[in-house]
Amino acid sequence: MTDAIDYADDERESESGRQIVWRARSVGLVAVETDDAELLHRWRSDPVAAHEIGIWPRSVTAMRERIERDGDDDDRDDFLVVLLPDRTTVGHIALSGQDIVNGSARIELMLAPEHRGRGHGRHALDALVDLAFGELPMHRLTARTHTDNAPALAVLSGSGFVREGVSRSACLHRGRRHDLAVSSLLRTEWEALDRPRAWDA
């Protein structure tokens, strides 16, 4: 199934309140709203995502309550990832645990099953990284995933993240303990990246 946010133009964006708040080369970021609970629930219920991210399916009601709770959290920003120009929704990305004093935050990324392996994750990650370093006073971004989640580790590496260690036996999922790979990107490393920034698109 392909999901799309139906906008004909920027004027309709403003009228609907579902504006694309950040644009990059091929993707845009749209703030998550409570009505997105069913979509996010479907993605989180995918067994591959559940295994690789270390999550378990919850009810749509619980997902809706979580979105409402996170919406009141000043330390977290959640976005739907949409393709440009047709605005097909392909995933979810978040900047969580924002510590403005220390300039640190965590990146979370999940793609819809039918949109994996097409480069959308890399573009979404680059877009959020540019937002964190280009518009916010972040100095360090981190991401964690299972050490055997090769696709996610490849996306992180491609966006300049450096694998800095392993949190041993840090995640319990389906009755097994999993090691988590810890990757990070510093502002100075982002500045040295030879790629267009989101605002150059």
So what's the pLDDT on residue 6? Answer: 46
Which domains, from first to last, does the chain contain? 3-200 (3.40.630.30)
- Percentage of the chain modeled with pLDDT above 70: 88
So what's the pLDDT on residue 118? Answer: 92
Integer CA distances (angstroms), 25 to 17, 153, 169, 199, in order: 23, 22, 37, 9
So what's the pLDDT on residue 3? Answer: 58
Instruction: Report the mean per-residue pLDDT for the chain.
Output: 88
Q: Give the integer Cα–Cα distance in Å for 189 and 89.
A: 30
